[in-house]
């Protein structure tokens, strides 16, 4: 039973090794779904689970906070984490689970915890989200700042081990970035699911020309050559990673495809039959702040299954 001792505590929670999964909980139904998936992920990886509940009042209040207020908030967060930890232990027998109550905003606590985690898991929204909200502020903050791969548990299907054999889908954009594919391959092997690798591409557009493509694009030698080159991108990446990780011997069925059109739109469609959609997210400093790409933002809001974001530089 552990808890952090200050709003800005250390990066390590006492008693929790570096190789672990961390999940944020707040007692909401969305966080319970995230907890169940996190317990399954920790069990498959053979690592421990840190259950974290961050509780804090807004930084600007009319009444100054007291030590009693802070202690009450920590205690309340720890009680929520302990109840969730017990559920995780009952779900995955033999799993090492450490509950933690932290006096800091949930997003801040989870960003800090992600620095020493193998995987960070959150629900699509928490108690602060109103009906119809697609993604909460905690998920958006973590999408931009989490140091570990982030799994946002969302969608209409139950995120549990009994959901059946469904595909793990990896969306690829950069030909020289294999980190998301490596994560997806390992995920598919643990889940026992087929792996579908999708590379999306579009023709460049010129100013003043319509952005909407015709219903039936004209087939030309140039277009066919471009399609063949784009298909080779996905095939070459899959082949290279499969050889390094010996995918054939692991029994993972790997499929690749090149899709002409918006990547987000196709990934959302594939998510209907997927267990997890995996996307790489480049950690670059934009003009105003660290942000996620339009594709990542759209998929996070509209995917029908959990979405894993794998950071790379």
Structural domains for the chain? 2-153 (3.40.50.620), 167-205+219-312 (3.40.50.12370)
For residue 87, what are its two tokens?
């559920």
* Residue 228 backbone phi and psi in degrees, to 5: -65, -40
Whose tokens are 């973590």? That residue is: 142
- The pLDDT assigned to 246 comes to 59
Handedness of CA 33, 100, 148, 183 (dihedral sign): negative
- The pLDDT assigned to 11 comes to 40
Residues 6+ apart with CB under 8 A from 202: 260, 261, 262
Contact 194, 221 (CB under 8 A): no
Q: Is the pLDDT of residue 147 over 60?
A: yes
The mean per-residue pLDDT over the stretch 151-172 comes to 71
The SS3 assignment for 107 reads helix
Single pTM value for the model:
0.82
Q: Is the pLDDT of residue 161 over 60?
A: no
- The pLDDT assigned to 247 comes to 53
For residue 5, what are its two tokens?
């001792």
Distance CA 261, CA 216 (A): 13
pLDDT band at 130 (very low <50, low <70, confident <90, very high): very low
Q: Sheet containing 195-201: which strands, arranged edge to edge?
A: 2-3, 97-102, 48-54, 20-24, 119-123, 150-153, 307-312, 274-282, 167-172, 195-201, 254-260
CA-wise closest residue to 311 among 180, 118, 198, 174? 180
Let me know the angle formed at the C-alpha of 42 by 21 and 127, rounded to the nearest 5 degrees.
60
Q: Name the packing angle between helices 106-114 and 137-145 (round to 10°).
A: 30
The mean per-residue pLDDT over the stretch 26-38 comes to 92
Quick one: what percent of the chain has pLDDT higher than 90? 36
Strands 167-172 and 274-282, by their bridges, are parallel
């Amino acid at each position: 039973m552990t808890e952090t001792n200050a709003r800005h505590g250390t990066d390590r929670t006492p008693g929790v090794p570096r190789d672990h999964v961390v999940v944020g909980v707040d007692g909401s139904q969305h966080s319970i779904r995230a907890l169940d998936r996190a317990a399954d992920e920790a069990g498959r990886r053979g690592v421990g689970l840190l259950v974290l509940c961050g509780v804090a009042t807004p930084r600007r209040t009319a009444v100054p906070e007291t030590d009693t207020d802070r202690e009450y908030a920590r205690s309340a967060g720890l009680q929520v984490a302990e109840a969730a930890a017990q559920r995780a232990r009952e779900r995955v027998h033999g799993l090492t689970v450490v509950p933690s109550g932290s006096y800091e905003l949930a997003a801040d606590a989870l960003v800090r915890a992600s620095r020493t985690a193998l995987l960070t898991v959150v629900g699509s929204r928490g108690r602060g989200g109103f009906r119809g909200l697609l993604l909460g502020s905690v998920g958006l903050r973590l999408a931009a700042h989490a140091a570990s791969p982030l799994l946002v548990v969302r969608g209409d299907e139950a995120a549990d081990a009994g959901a059946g054999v469904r595909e793990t889908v990896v969306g690829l954009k950069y030909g020289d970035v294999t980190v998301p594919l490596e994560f997806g391959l390992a995920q598919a092997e643990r889940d026992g699911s087929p792996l579908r690798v999708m590379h999306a591409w579009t023709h460049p557009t010129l100013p003043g020309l319509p952005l909407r493509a015709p219903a039936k694009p004209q087939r030309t030698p140039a277009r066919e050559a471009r399609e063949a080159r784009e298909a080779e991108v996905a095939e070459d990446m899959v082949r290279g990673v499969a050889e390094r990780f010996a995918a054939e011997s692991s029994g993972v069925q790997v499929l690749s495809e090149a899709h002409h059109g918006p990547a987000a739109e196709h990934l959302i469609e594939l998510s209907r039959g997927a267990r997890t959609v995996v996307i790489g997210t480049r950690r670059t400093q934009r003009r105003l702040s660290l942000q996620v790409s339009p594709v990542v933002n759209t998929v996070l809001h509209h995917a029908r299954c959990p979405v894993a974001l794998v950071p790379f530089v």
